[in-house]
Amino acid sequence: MKKFETFSGIAAPMPLVNIDTDMIIPKVFLKSIQRTGFGKNLFDEMRYNRDGSEIPDFVLNKPQYRDAQILIAGDNFGCGSSREHAPWALDDFGIKVIVSTSFADIFFNNSFKNGMLPIVLPQEQVDVLMADAEKGANARMTVDLEAQEITTSDGDVIKFEVDAFKKHCLLNGLDDIGLTMEKEASIDAYEATAGAERPWV
C-alpha cells in the first residue's frame, strides 16, 4: 500500500447527506475483475448525461474542482453496499481525504485499506471546511496525518482523531495481511482451542 504523506490540495464541497455507494460507483461498473480504472465512472449518474456528456453543475465537473483531492461531504457518507469499488473509484480519481460528520462502517474501513483517510469531525467544523471548500480552487487545504491536523486556506487549524493502528498503517503503507501473518502462532493456537471446545464449527 502507498504511504500517506502530508499534502495540500483542493477540497470539493458535497453537502448532500447519505451519499451511498451506488451513487459513488453504480453497479454497472462493478463487473471488472481489476482494482483500477474506476475513476472515470466515479459518481457516474450524477456526473454524466446518458449520452456521456458532462453535467456542468456537478461539483467535480466545475473547472475549479476537477483536480480535487479532498471531499467535504454530508452526513453518513458511503452508506449502502460493501463494494470496495467505491473507495477504488475515489482513489483512482485522485481523492485522498474525505471529511464528514459520519461514515458508514464498511466504507470507512475499506478506505483505510486503500491508503485513503476518512476524517470524522463535528458539524461545526465540517461547516467551516465546507465554507472553505466553497471558495474554489484557490482555497487549498493541507492535511497532516502525523500531526492529525487540517489547515484551511485561511490558516485555521482543525485537529482530528484517528485510530492509532490505522494511522500507523497509513503512514507506513503497511499491508494488513503481512502484519496479521506475523501473528500466525496466535491463530494456530486459537484454532486448536476453539476446535476442541466447539468441534462442530
Partner 1 sequence: MSPKTLYDKIWDAHVAHEADDGTCLLYIDRHLVHEVTSPQAFEGLRMTGRKVRAPEKTIAVPDHNVPTTAGRENPEQMTEESRIQVAALDKNAKEFGVHYYPVSDVRQGIVHIVGPENGWTLPGMTVVCGDSHTATHGAFGSLAHGIGTSEVEHVLATQTLIQKKSKNMKVEITGKLNPGVTAKDVTLAIIGATGTGGGTGYVIEYCGEAIQSLSMEGRMTVCNMAIEGGARAGLIAPDQTTFDYCKGRPHAPKGGAWEQAEAYWRTLFSDEGAHFDKVVTLKGEDIQPVVTWGTSPEDVLPITGVVPSPEDFEGGKVEAARRSIEYMGLTPGQKLTDIEIDTVFIGSCTNGRIEDMRAAAEVLKGKKIKDGMRAMIVPGSGLVRAQAEEEGLADIFREAGFEWRLAGCSMCLAMNPDQLSENERCASTSNRNFEGRQGYKGRTHLVSPAMAAAAAITGKLTDIRELM
Least distance from partner 1 to the Cβ atom of residue 177, Å = 5
Nearer to partner 1, 137 or 174 (CB): 174
Least distance from partner 1 to the Cβ atom of residue 40, Å = 16
* Per-residue CA distances from 80 to 19, 24, 27, 117, 190 (Å): 9, 10, 12, 19, 33
Look at the alpha carbons of 95, 100, 104, 108 in this order and tell me if their dihedral is positive or negative. Answer: positive
Least distance from partner 1 to the Cβ atom of residue 94, Å = 20
Applying CB under 8 A, the residues found at the interface with partner 1 are 15-18, 20, 22-23, 26-28, 30-35, 45, 50, 74-76, 79-84, 87, 102-106, 109-110, 113-114, 163-165, 176-177, 180-181, 183-184, 186-187, 189-191, 194, 198-201
Q: Round to whole Å and give the CA distance between 48 and 61.
A: 9
| Rounded CA Rg of the chain | 19
Nearer to partner 1, 63 or 182 (CB): 182
Least distance from partner 1 to the Cβ atom of residue 67, Å = 26
Nearer to partner 1, 30 or 137 (CB): 30
Nearer to partner 1, 109 or 153 (CB): 109
Which residues does 74 contact at the CB level (< 8 Å), separation at least 6? 14, 15, 16, 17, 18, 19, 100, 101
Nearer to partner 1, 155 or 185 (CB): 185
Q: Cell triple for residue 165?
A: 493502528
148: left (phi over 0), alpha (psi -120 to 50) or beta: left
Look up cell 501473518; give the residue: 181
Least distance from partner 1 to the Cβ atom of residue 87, Å = 8
